[in-house]
Chains A and B, each alone.
Chain A
Amino acid sequence: MKEKRELTCIGCPMGCQITVVLKDGLVTDVSGNTCKIGDTYAREEVTNPRRTVTSILKVVDGELPVVSVKTGETVPKDRIFAVMEEINSISVEAPVSIGQVLIENVADTGVSVVATREIKKV
């Protein structure tokens, strides 16, 4: 069975309109994207949608009470809230350096949560 799906690429803020053609659940054509990211996004979005999660994590004795974090890679879309739950369940001690791994294998996704800001100890 042939199916056509219209997507808006979230690979970057350009937001290209992409058309994906699927045949029996397999991607046969991707068009409308202007770069490789769009092609990858479109193929993944129709089969196994994934997102980067960005949030904050509690810090003890830091210049700010929280440190901004992100998942080092994308996680399955249906695991976003599981990832959030784990991020919200822990706190770390300052100092925190940018890029520091704060949680490994978050919510069994195989992906790490890393700090996106430096937090000095006060």
Chain B
Amino acid sequence: MIRKSLVIIGGGPAGMAAALGAVENGLAPDEILILERDKRLGGILNQCIHNGFGLHTFKEELTGPEYAARYEAQIKAKKISYKLGTMVMSIRDGEEKEIIAMNGQEGILEIYAKAVILAMGCRERPRGALNIPGYRPAGIFSAGTAQYYVNMEGKLPGKEVVILGSGDIGLIMAHRMTLEGAKVKAVAELMPYSGGLKRNIVQCLQDFDIPLLLSHTVVDIHGKERVEGVTIAKVDEKSAPIPGTEKYYSCDTLLLSCGLIPENELSLGCGITLSPVTGGPVVNESLETNIPGVFACGNVLHVHDLVDFVSGEAKEAGERSAEYVRNLSAPEAEEGIPVLAENGVRYTVPATIRTQHMKESQTIRFRVGKEYRGVKVCVYLDNTLLRSIPKRTMAPGEMEKVVLLKKDLADRNVKSIRITVEE
């Protein structure tokens, strides 16, 4: 049996930053344990060998492995303990949190903790969730799986590629496979806009003249043993394929980059409430779930575009968890003020704010449901406009934020905070 103040589930960017945040806020490094199922720390950053990481955190442009290495070095320097190759099976709430984990060396581990940080990240939406008809031949990969083969194992999964979905990993793999000599014939995107970052459209597709087919989808996969081709059709406003627009693309590989899903089986197992919009836990200003002492950060909470923002959010979760451990005997705080996502705003993190626990400034992150140009993001306290921030462009693929100050809420009996998009 192991007893710790804080157990962090996941040793990727979120888990590592959370651990460092907790230490910075006074928790002893030996009171923390990170559980990581992979053979190394760093999570998905290990296979993200492209650059563009760290501009906010380190003020320089790093690749994924370099960004991970910087955090890993800090974890080691601070002597924060971690277990690799260790899979968490369950979390249970009680007097203490009970975590059951296992690995090949120690067998089943029974771990007790005062606080838990969920940092399990997310996974890719698989073919089974996309309802694409056709056989099940070899040659269909999620973009992240292809990324692992190419970047970690040095193996090219195919030579002629079609990519369904224009999420960032799909765009990045279009670029990677092109550099490695594959022919990427097209990227088909169901929506009328790309789900990826603008820079990736430029340097992954436009640089190599790879067509991006917006409002298109794969309606059939051909081939029995191996993919031989796909049929792509245009879709209408309701995302239904338009008869007569089908076009055949011969290819040996189909990559799927159709969205990421926060990996919350463990959270569900211990009774944590999830948001139907993000698929991640509903959290308050402290990034704490409905179970006191269980915090969430990074892609398990809501899927981020930038690891820098994951690190920032996770550091905060770490700091808050240290406070929680310190003030365990303190009385329950008041009910939170709900933060309402309205008129184009799909969700907010946090979903509630307890003013008593609020810091001087509180970042509220959110995503919008469609592309906007020349609009304003408005923050209302009940029906009073607090702030309106002009935005040149906003897109579902790019996370937005507004900052709320503690003094904004002081001496006002606010019942709700509303975030809206207005013309």
Contact = CB atoms under 8 A, between A and B. Distances in A.
Given A13-B52, A13-B306, A55-B49, A116 B63 contact: yes
Nearest to A49: B207
A7 B64 CA distance: 26
A65 interface: yes
B202 interface: yes
Interface in B48-68: 49-52, 55, 61-66
B52 A12 contact: yes
Interface residues of B, number: 33
The 8 closest A-B pairs by CB, nearest first: A15-B198, A68-B49, A66-B154, A117-B65, A10-B199, A116-B63, A12-B55, A8-B198
Interface in B333-391: none
A8 B199 contact: yes
B266 interface: no
13 contacts: A8-B199, A10-B199, A12-B61, A14-B199, A55-B176, A65-B154, A66-B151, A70-B51, A84-B179, A88-B180, A116-B63, A116-B65, A116-B66
A77 interface: yes
B76 interface: no
A68 B151 CA distance: 7
Interface in B195-212: 197-199, 201-203, 207
A91 B176 CA distance: 19
Given A13-B52, A98-B66, A56 B198 contact: no
Nearest to A51: B203
B65 A66 contact: no
B179 A80 contact: yes
Interface centre among A13, A88, A117, A118 (most CB of B within 10 A): A13
Given A13-B305, A58-B154, A77-B207, 11 more contacts: A12-B199, A51-B207, A54-B49, A54-B50, A55-B49, A55-B179, A64-B153, A68-B63, A68-B64, A70-B51, A117-B66
Interface residues of A, number: 32
Interface of B: 46, 49-52, 55, 61-66, 69, 150-154, 176, 179-180, 197-199, 201-203, 207, 305-306, 392-393, 398
A68 B152 CA distance: 8
Given A58-B154, A64-B152, A117-B65, A15 B197 contact: yes
A40 interface: no
A42 interface: no
A9 interface: yes
A109 interface: no
Contacts of B203: 10, 51
A53 B179 contact: yes
Nearest to A45: B202
Contacts of B398: 15
A54 B48 CA distance: 10
